[in-house]
Structure 1
Amino acid sequence: MQNFKLSNSGSIPCIGLGTYKMTDENELYRALNTAFEHGYTMIDTAYFYKNEGTIGKIIKTKKRSDIVLATKVWPSDFGYDNTMYSIERSLQSLQTDYIDIMYIHWPGDDMEQSWKAFEKMYDEKVIKNLAVANFLPNHYEKLTISANIKPVINQIELHPYNQSTELTDYFKSKDIQIISWSPLAKATDKLLNEPILREIAKKYDKSISQIVLRWHIQQGFAVIPKTKTPHRVKENIDIFDFELDDNDMKNIKSLDEKKTISHSSNEEDWLKQLRYGN
């Protein structure tokens, strides 16, 4: 398993398992146990996902130091005291005494006070890596005016149809690791039947999903594809026995439509939706 080094000298796996909307206990048990069997160590959750408790039960049966556990604080829990409570609640739900990656889930008002709570828990070694999600440059710059410790990760929506090159270049310049959420664009029929991707997949005898995940990792982006299907969990991590060439990377780059999959709007409208207070 390839790791990406973080600016605080830590590191994270280049691929993990996303768990958004995975609330059925049996499905979670099946997906996570399959993931662990096939070499996954990073599990991404959030209090908002309503599955921390089940994940806590599962990882309690594993060696904790072998797992990179990530969770998030939702904007409704912003503010110093609320964030401290949210962190403690996640610790209890996940049945652990530390979190490997803790995110501010979305930018918003009063996030600076939440960051102070993050920093305190980092100093106490309750949180190993401080992170943000869905941040644009202006959010990062606003946060870091008062921050003593900068984020080491930004988790954003990235996939072939929404490549956000200027955004990723900015955070690379700040030495912040990008993690792509929805890296397969929700595995839509459009993506899974994309002629360019079908040709590349045929060339390497791989699935389209494997091609796209490999494309992310070769750019230096970690990925957290979500699936509850065991054979897809296994397939998604089987991407380390080939490498895309420059022409493949160029062809996939040509697919960029600057459109997100999480909003039925173009990138400009999405950026407007991410302004403070929304």
Structure 2
Amino acid sequence: MNQKNHNKGIKRREFLKTSAAFAGTAMFMGMGTSRLFGATGLPEVSIENVTLNNGVKMPILGFGTYGLNGEVCKDSVADAISMGYRLLDTATVYRNEEFVGAGIKQSGIKREELFITSKVWVDDSGYEKAKKAFQTSLDKLGTDYLDLYLIHRPRGDVKGSWKAMEELYKEGKIRAIGVSNFEPHQLDDLMAGFDVTPAVNQIESHAFFQQNKAHAYMKPHKIQMEAWAPLAEGRNGLFTNETLAAIGKKYNKSNAQVSLRWHYQRGIIAIPRSSQNAHRMENLNIFDFELTESDMRTIAPLDLNKTQFPEWS
């Protein structure tokens, strides 16, 4: 960890040491919730399940694994599950599926209680390659089905991949299929030639890149928006942003918690990642307060309407 990231971690941990947030009672959501009991000192937490366009229920808050590997990945996944996370997100290109699978096994939680997502990478695009890549992911994860499988980027033989995924979906090997990093015109092109509408589009979204147009497009098509890097990985000073801090001060919450609550109230699934228990616990504790309409309006002008990850463009 470099010094900049180390300092960000200290700022978040300092908040946790002084916050009374964990003493509150968690709010229970009404639309199909998973009641979760952690052994970590958290109050009883209930994470709402959103209903995808095929009727499958998916947790609105999950645990991302990008950048985690080896024993750190395995232990992080196992600990996240023990805290109450049930949505786990990985991908072929993360090269950590076997460690995610090992963490799941270590947790002792039944497979059917989890919602596991993986993604097919560009190098594996196309009908035959996508089917092979899917089976490789299953083998590494140690499961015989996925809850959600995504096309990671709109490149290569997208339609060949989607044809393979539709078949796997209809065979019951995937409970829902979707895409990642697709723009509206790319979604239009995909939907024009196939029977199954993507259930999810996982895209970059956070306070500095709010993706309002993309969100507005997806809603009428009943495509669920999911945010990768919902905390912008701390870029552009998210963890110390004065606007978010002022809002958080009213509720005794951190910038990260305000950010995740903002996603939740917009109906967007978020998958924050952390290798530290304190941060994973902090990210879960967002259900005992509510941002006002004024708070939401205050966050809106933070939108720079551009990616904070130009290396992915």
Give the structure-2-normalised TM-score: 0.82
Q: How does 1:1-278 map to 2 (within 5 A)?
A: 1-25=47-71, 27-60=72-105, 61-188=108-235, 190-263=237-310, 273=313
Taking the aligned partners of 2:57 and 2:86, their CA distance within structure 1 comes to 12
Shift of 1:143: 0.9
Kept in 2: contact 1:34–1:234 (CA 8 A) = no
Q: Secondary structure at the match of 1:254?
A: helix
Query: Over residues 101-129 of structure 1, what are the superposed CA-to-partner deviations in whole Å (9 max), with x where a residue is unaligned?
Result: 00000002321111010011001100001
Note if contact 1:154-1:179 (Cα within 8 Å) is conserved in structure 2: yes
Q: Counterparts of 1:104 and 1:144 in 2: how far apart (Å)?
A: 14
TM-score (ref. length: structure 1): 0.93
Map Cα deviations across residues 15-43 of structure 1 (whole Å, 9 max, x no partner). Answer: 11100010132x12332122112210010
Rounded to whole Å, the distance in 2 between the matches of 1:216 and 1:11 is 18
Q: Distance in 1 between matches of 2:137 and 2:78?
A: 21
In structure 2, the gaps of 5 or more residues are 1-46
1: CA distance, partners of 2:235 / 2:200: 27
Secondary structure at the residue paired with 1:2?
Answer: strand
Tell me which amino acid in the other structure corresponds to 1:224: I
Structure 1 gaps, min length 5: 265-269, 274-278
The count of aligned residue pairs is: 265
In 2, distance between residues paired with 1:259 and 1:250? 19
Q: How far 1:5 sits from its partner (Å)?
A: 1.1
RMSD between aligned residues = 1.2
Partner secondary structure for residue 147 of structure 2: strand
Instruction: Report the Cα distance in structure 1 between the residues aligned to 2:162 and 2:240, rounded to whole angstroms.
Output: 42
Matched-pair contact (CA < 8 Å) for 2:76–2:103: no
d(CA) in 1 for partners of 2:61, 2:75: 18
Give the deviation of 1:189 after TM superposition.
6.1
